[in-house]
Amino acid sequence: MQRAHQVILSAHPRVTETIKWSTPTFVYKGNILSFTPSRTAVSLMFHKSAEIPGDHPLLEGDGRLVRTMRFTDVTGIETGRPDTET
């Protein structure tokens, strides 16, 4: 969870963090994502990810707006970084 936190905050200098809904929430011109509690993985809830154009295979879900990403280890977090080449 700490590594995911670092990656999120380093994504852009204007991304900030606040506590909403009793969990860390990252914002820039509105809510971007929140950590969602899980004992077995780092779960990130992206508030409006369904509106992001393009294919994002790490995002899961079929809600009207919200999608999630789940990572069970640091390797998955590093692989999911936007600046990581695959």
E strand intervals along 1-86:
16-20, 23-27, 31-36, 42-46, 67-71
- Residue 76's pLDDT is 80
pTM summary value: 0.79
Every domain of the chain and the residues it spans: 2-79
More confident residue, 82 or 22: 22
Quick one: pLDDT band at residue 86, thresholds 50, 70, 90? very low
Joined tokens for residue 72: 């069970």
Distance CA 63, CA 76 (A): 23
Query: Quick one: DSSP state of residue 60?
Result: B
The 10s digit of each residue's pLDDT in 26-79 is 999 999 999 987 888 889 999 999 888 888 888 999 889 999 999 888 888 887
* Phi/psi of residue 80, nearest 5 degrees: -85, -5
